[in-house]
Homo-oligomer: A and B are copies of this chain.
Amino acid sequence: MEIITSVTTMQRWSREVHRQGQTVAFVPTMGYLHEGHLALIRAAQTAGDKVVVSLFVNPTQFGPQEDFAHYPRDRARDEALCRDADVAACFIPATEEMYAPDHQIYMEEPAAARLLEGAHRPGHFRGVLTVVAKLFGAVQPDVAVFGEKDAQQLWLVEKLVADLNFPVRIMAHPTVREPDGLAMSSRNKYLQPAQRERATCLYRALQVAAQKVAAGETRAAVVLESMQPVLATVPEARIDYVALVDPGTFRPLEQEVSTPCRAVLAVRIGSTRLIDTMLLSAGNET
């Protein structure tokens, strides 16, 4: 496995893969890999000839009050996991390699990026869209795999690719969950044992909503209200948002629910902020 730290070396590496008639499948990560990332890597193995994983904690997507400084990092373990997963190259740029002192070009946040996650994390998607464009420029992937858990991010990355004509196919991977339903996330590490148990309230609330919609409920307010008692069982849970959105536009549905719709929520358990999502379908699909 190659360890690549410079943008130009990364570009040269991918150019050589392409010159050999092979494709590059890319999994961008912030490192501290878990089973969810490994599932994305396995999906990438089926989608392209050579898999590249980036490990980069992107400073520009964290707010000043957020957890950039203490976001968990374990480069040696991440590299070992990538090696075991038959990753062809790990792209691990230093912060200064990705953001030179005179870096000035950023992506604008479209209106859809200022809702939900964007409303609670101002500037977050500006940083996400910028770093994804920069990573695509460095890695030159044919396909890139993103987790569905970060549903609004996934939606925006698909928009970025469509609007700026990136020649990259975006592959969405279903959320990988712990046996009790908690969506896997590097931030789960922040949870104390008692909190860890209660953190399943996000998944349970989504299941309740899914059952409502499957049973034919079409009033958004009723679906959203059905989730509240589940979240209320955890007194320390503070809700940032709970919403149903149109999967095509990521706009919140406030009246009638057309299916499938996507439920999204962000909840703080103590000081740990968790997000989760589920696609809700009518009839007997959940």
Within 8 Å by CB of A134, from B15, B126, B165, lies B165
Give A94-126 as 1s and 0s: 1 = Cβ < 8 Å from B's Cβ atoms. 000000101111111011100000000000001
Whether the Cβ atoms of A104 and B163 lie closer than 8 Å is yes
Q: Which residues of the partner chain B approach A163 to less than 8 Å between Cβ atoms?
A: 100, 103-105, 134
Whether the Cβ atoms of A140 and B159 lie closer than 8 Å is no
Interface flag for A129 (CB, 8 Å): yes
Interface flag for A190 (CB, 8 Å): no
Within 8 A of B (CB), among A1-22: 7, 11, 15, 18-19, 21
Within 8 Å by CB of A106, from B108, B133, B137, lies B108
Within 8 Å by CB of A105, from B103, B104, B135, B164, lies B164
Whether the Cβ atoms of B165 and A105 lie closer than 8 Å is no
A246 → chain B closest CB, angstroms: 12
Interface flag for A62 (CB, 8 Å): no
Interface flag for A167 (CB, 8 Å): yes
Within 8 A of B (CB), among A153-205: 159-160, 162-167
Whether the Cβ atoms of B11 and A159 lie closer than 8 Å is no
Interface flag for A41 (CB, 8 Å): no
Within 8 Å by CB of A111, from B11, B104, B110, B167, lies B104
Whether the Cβ atoms of A165 and B19 lie closer than 8 Å is no
Interface flag for A138 (CB, 8 Å): yes
Within 8 A of B (CB), among A82-104: 100, 102-104
From known contacts A105-B159, A159-B105, infer whether A137 and B110 are also in contact, taking CB-CB under 8 Å.
Answer: no
Q: Which residues of the partner chain B approach A18 to less than 8 Å between Cβ atoms?
A: 18
Give A220-260 as 1s and 0s: 1 = Cβ < 8 Å from B's Cβ atoms. 00000000000000000000000000000100000000000
From known contacts A18-B18, A19-B21, A21-B19, infer whether A134 and B164 are also in contact, taking CB-CB under 8 Å.
Answer: yes
Q: Which residues of the partner chain B approach A167 to less than 8 Å between Cβ atoms?
A: 11, 15, 137, 140
Given contacts A105-B108, A133-B164, 10 further A-B contacts (CB under 8 A): A102-B249, A103-B163, A104-B163, A105-B107, A105-B110, A105-B160, A106-B107, A107-B108, A134-B164, A134-B165
Name 25 A/B residue pairs within 8 A (Cβ), A-sorted: A18-B18, A19-B21, A100-B162, A100-B163, A103-B163, A104-B110, A104-B111, A105-B107, A105-B108, A105-B110, A105-B129, A105-B163, A106-B108, A106-B110, A107-B107, A130-B164, A133-B164, A134-B163, A134-B164, A135-B165, A137-B164, A137-B165, A137-B167, A138-B165, A140-B167
